[in-house]
Structure 1
Amino acid sequence: MKGLLDPKMDFVFKNIFGSEKNPKILISFLNATLKPKDLITAVEIKNTDINKGYIEDKFSRLDVKATTSNDEVINIEIQLKNEYNMIKRSLYYWSKLYSEQLKEGEDYSNLKRTICINILNFKYLRTRKFHSGYRLKEIYSNEELTNVAEIHFIEIPKLEEGSDEKDILVAWIEFLKDPESEKVRSLEMSIDEIRQAKDELIRMSNDDTQRELYEMRAKTLKDKISALNEAERKGIKKGIRKGIQEGKKEKAIEIAKSMINIGLDKDTIVKATGLDLSEVEKLMN
């Protein structure tokens, strides 16, 4: 058997969790994440098509969209690389999901509870917990305004060794981390949905067409990550250059102050330090 594909790759994740053939996988994951008082019993999965254009577009979002039996609109996105914009990005997509529910003239009461779940393969928030959920609350009393808006972050690297695998969300994150691990082999024996997900992953991994699409998507995302890393490096270099320039300026100002103290005229100070005349005059006042 060929090695298993990485379920953290958005193309693979969408095929497993966003498949109409195995809705129980998504239901299990949502119940594990949201821990609702009334369990979700059914989902209607949207945007199931994945065409070649999406695979090759590094800006495309292969997320999972669904509505639930609890009358909720859900969006799940998985991110491999920190682009430093996850909070604003998630709020933007949440607002689109929320506002697009209404057609012109429809009543606001038709708006459904809207939830974004962000699965991150990097540490992002300050909290030590691997799973964080946010709603709208009053800033002094912490009273909840509404539960209509909810945004979750699941940071895979923060899952600690020895976490309680009876928590089904921990089991799902173990599956995403390493589907071939002994932990997952044990979990798939006791949790039907984990076994179904593993079976689907094995099927995809042994399908030459699916593997080819996976490789295409992996290359596209690798190119995107390389571009992000290059931009990051340029930003660091620019920051270093700026720091050097700022350091030089501070040194020039110190020298100018010393020259002022011994009574030198402003023209001499300008020539000696390279500061603007207006800057020297400001220091002299």
Structure 2
Amino acid sequence: MADYIRFDWAMKRMLRNKANFGVLEGLLTTLLEEKITIRHMLESESNQEEEYDKYNRVDMLAENSKGELILVEVQNNNGFAYFQRMLFGTSKLVAEYIKRGEDYQNVRKIYSVNIVYFSLGHGSDYAYHGTTEFRGMHDNDILQLSPFQAEKFKVDTVSKLFPEYYILKVNDFNRMAKTPLEEWIYYLNTGNIPEKSNASGLDEARQRLLLDRMTKDELAAYYRHLDNIVILRDNITTERAEGRAEGRAEGEARGRIKEKLEIARKMKVLGIDTVTIAGATGLNESDISAL
């Protein structure tokens, strides 16, 4: 089996090249279940206004043939506020890509595609899709567009006017790839493309993302990237292990204090004086008096 470049590296270094658009178009076509043709890339980095923005930039911003914006981010870092980060990204795009004074009907449709290599939230699936809908507080009905709005905006539900979110939890995929999306997730997870995979875009990946097409300098930078990922994952694992150890230690300490308080309570019932109880249990006399 040939060796292929990991997708997270390709996103940052290669897929911005028009000659390689077919790889990303294939993934987006498979995920969105409609033909996606990237006309050009839109650079959001030039629109940064604050220092904080550079930590929330997208890896890639594309525009499809319908003029809809597709925000694609690959993330290795474990961010506990990543959901808010997604919201920040789409909200910023909505504001950036409408001119001041322009009618709100011209707000652009946005798809936020998030490929995360860490555990995000709690769930059993590896792929999630999120939309916005308004549900009746009393009748539980879903608010619909009026016939005029549906005709004007060319959509059939309110949710299609709002950003849509996709989350691919790459590391959570641990099954045989049977569908086109699963073939893509398998590649995103392992960096390998099975010979029989035929999902849209993977054939282009086979041709353009071969490891042996890299120059010596590119290969050295790529291997440094892989080393950094290993270090990052090791740090995350270590932090979690230390957190669990600290939690166990705190729990054991609380258990010992609880046991001492119970002993002190029993001694107090027997009429033993506070000073003696404090000496026997190591508790403060004020804590014993409060029992």
Q: TM-score, normalised to structure 2's length? A: 0.72
Amino acid in structure 1 at the alignment position of 2:142: E
| Residues in 1 aligned to 2:44 and 2:216: alpha-carbon distance in whole angstroms | 20
Amino acid at match of 1:25: V
Residue in structure 2 matched with residue 54 of structure 1 by the alignment: none
What is the distance in 2 between the residues matched to 1:272 and 1:108?
74
Gaps of 5+ in 2: 46-54, 144-157
Cα deviation, residue 66, structure 1: 1.4
In 2, distance between residues paired with 1:15 and 1:215? Answer: 14
- Native 8 Å contact 1:12 1:214 kept in 2: no
Aligned length: 263
Aligned-pair identity in percent equals: 22
| 1:261 paired to 2:257 | no
Question: Contact 1:7–1:176 (CA<8 Å) still a contact in 2?
Answer: yes
What is aligned with 2:69? 73
The answer to whether the 8 Å contact 2:112/2:166 transfers is yes
Task: Tell me which moved more, 194-203 or 259-268.
Answer: 259-268
Residue in 2 that maps onto 1:169 = 181
Aligned pair 1:243/2:257, yes or no? Answer: no
Q: Secondary structure at the match of 2:36?
A: coil
Query: Which residues of 2 match residues 213-232 of structure 1 at below 5 A?
Result: 213-232=221-240
Q: In 2 relative to 1, CA 122–171 (structure 1 residues): closer, same or farther, beyond 3 Å?
A: same
Q: Does 1:7 align with 2:6?
A: yes
Q: Contact 2:4/2:191 (CA < 8 Å) preserved in 1? A: no
Give 3-state SS (helix, strand or coil) of 1:137's partner.
coil
CA apart distance, 1:76: 1.9
TM-score, normalization by structure 1: 0.73
Report deviation, 1:133. 0.4
Return closer, same or farther for 1:203/1:226 CA change in 2, 3 Å cut-off: closer
Change (3 A) 1:201 1:253: same
Look up the match of 2:40.
44
User: Taking structure 1 as reference, are residues 171 and 272 closer, same or farther at Cα in structure 2, changes over 3 Å only?
Assistant: same
Q: Does 1:93 align with 2:93?
A: no
The one-letter code matched in structure 2 to 1:7 is R
Q: 1:212 corresponds to which residue?
A: 220
Partner SS state of residue 112, structure 1: coil
Contact 1:123 1:158 in 2 (8 A): no
Structure 1 runs of 4+ off > 6 angstroms?
A: 59-62
**1:151 aligned onto 2:202:** no
Are positions 1:128 and 2:124 aligned together? Answer: yes
1:154-198 CA-to-partner distances (Å, cap 9, x unmatched) read: 12333532523xxx32332233345555xx3223xx566322111
Contact 1:19–1:48 (8 Å) recurs in 2: no
CA distance in 2, matches of 1:178, 1:129: 18
More strand by share: 1
Where structure 1 has 5 or more consecutive residues not aligned to the other structure, the ranges are 50-58
